[in-house]
């Protein structure tokens, strides 16, 4: 019998002249006919950070992870990119893997990319899961001190610094056990060039999903922690009101709950993805 690890393939692809490091777990059994779940990570994080979530999802579900160009094992792209350009490129990457349609889950910065994908590539995206994310430049912001911590990739490169600031910026279980969370991030993350982090910041500079949220036709699950210093909970409530077919699930925890408490939140994601599927006309 094959294991989950046996079915995961990590490789480098060229998509529109830009190389990307991508991991794919092929679906099997009852999930073979379903679109894969594309995971979009937080800023500066490589695909390994999401391993706890992947391990907690059904082992037969198809899953795609990737390192954004300039992050982890993906080389820097020739130039910075806008988030709309990245969304088009990501859909081309998924098609390069042989999939015309997919579900998408975006964490934090990746949640912004997931929203852009849902609006811009709506016939490709079946269902959307938004985790610990907001609407970009127009949202209820974090405390200025937290925002300042997010302006550099230092926490991804300096374990001692990450340990010191984890309770303040991540909240949740990081407040009582910051070492486990910081170690999880640093054991998994492959640090890419610093410029890749700043390319991600530039991609969303001035970008807001607010005008597009009422246009989302996909069923959307919003997961938000009640102790998230980076994305205050009110942002999730605003998104849930604006997206026509949205469901809000508030969990007790912080910004990285989908990773640190993946065993509790993955079943919520599974239940949502297994629900009614929209027709092509709806999505």
Residue 52 pLDDT greater than 70, yes or no: yes
Among 9-18, 55-64, 185-194, the least confident range: 185-194
pLDDT band at 280 (very low <50, low <70, confident <90, very high): very low
Q: What is the reported pLDDT for 7?
A: 77
Distances (CA, A) of 104 to 49, 94, 174, 202, 218: 17, 11, 26, 22, 11
Return the SS3 of 12: strand
**In the CATH scheme, what is the homologous superfamily, with its name and number, of domain 4-143+191-273?**
Alpha/Beta hydrolase fold, catalytic domain (3.40.50.1820)
- Measure CA of the first residue to CA of the last residue in the chain; give whole Å: 37
Helices (H), 139-193: 144-149, 154-157, 159-170, 178-188
Query: Tokens in use for 237?
Result: 């409530």
Instruction: Give percent of the chain with pLDDT exceeding 90.
Output: 84
pTM assigned to the model: 0.94
Return the SS3 of 146: helix
Of the candidates 49, 56, 22, 16, the one whose C-alpha atom is nearest the C-alpha of residue 38 is 22
Which of the 8 DSSP states describes residue 71? S
pLDDT digits (tens, 9 = 90+) for 242-264: 999 999 999 999 999 999 999 99
Residue 187 pLDDT greater than 70, yes or no: no
More confident residue, 115 or 178: 115
More confident residue, 162 or 27: 27
pLDDT digits (tens, 9 = 90+) for 42-51: 999 999 999 9
Cα distance between residue 182 and residue 237, in whole Å: 28
pLDDT band at 159 (very low <50, low <70, confident <90, very high): confident
Catalytic residue among 46, 56, 74, 108: 108
* Annotated catalytic residue 262: no
Q: What is the reported pLDDT for 283?
A: 38
CB-count exposure of residue 70 (10 Å: 0-12, 13-18, 19+): buried
* Average pLDDT for the chain: 92
More confident residue, 127 or 188: 127
Helix (H) or strand (E) holding 125: strand 125-131
Cα distance between residue 25 and residue 6, in whole Å: 9
pLDDT digits (tens, 9 = 90+) for 66-92: 999 999 999 999 999 999 999 999 999
Instruction: Give percent of the chain with pLDDT exceeding 70.
Output: 92
Q: What is the reported pLDDT for 156?
A: 83
- Placement of tokens 């410029």 in the chain: 195
For the chain, which residues make up each domain, given as ranges? 4-143+191-273
């Amino acid at each position: 019998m094959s294991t989950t690890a046996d079915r995961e393939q990590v490789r480098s692809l060229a998509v529109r002249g830009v190389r990307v490091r991508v991991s794919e777990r092929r679906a099997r059994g009852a999930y073979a006919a379903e679109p894969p779940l594309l995971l979009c990570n937080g800023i500066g994080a490589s695909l390994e950070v999401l391993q706890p979530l992947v391990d907690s999802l059904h082992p037969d579900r198809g899953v795609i992870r990737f390192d954004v160009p300039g992050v982890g094992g993906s080389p820097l792209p020739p130039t910075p990119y806008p988030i709309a350009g990245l969304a088009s490129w990501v859909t081309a990457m998924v098609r390069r893997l042989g999939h015309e349609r997919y579900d998408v889950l975006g964490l934090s910065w990746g949640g912004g990319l997931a929203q852009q994908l849902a609006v811009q590539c709506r016939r490709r995206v079946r269902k959307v899961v938004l985790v610990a994310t907001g609407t970009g430049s127009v949202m209820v912001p974090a405390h200025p001190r937290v925002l300042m911590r997010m302006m550099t990739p230092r926490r991804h490169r300096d374990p001692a610094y990450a340990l010191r600031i984890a309770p303040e910026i991540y909240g949740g279980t990081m407040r009582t056990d910051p070492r486990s969370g910081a170690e999880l991030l640093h054991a998994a993350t492959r640090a890419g060039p610093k410029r890749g982090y700043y390319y991600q910041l530039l991609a969303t500079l001035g970008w807001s999903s607010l005008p597009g949220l009422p246009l989302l036709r996909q069923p959307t699950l919003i997961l938000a922690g009640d102790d998230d210093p980076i994305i205050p909970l009110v942002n999730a409530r605003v998104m849930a009101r604006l997206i026509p077919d949205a469901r809000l699930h508030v969990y007790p925890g912080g910004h990285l709950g989908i990773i640190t408490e993946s065993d509790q939140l993955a079943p919520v994601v599974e239940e949502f993805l297994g629900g009614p599927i929209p027709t092509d006309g709806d999505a």
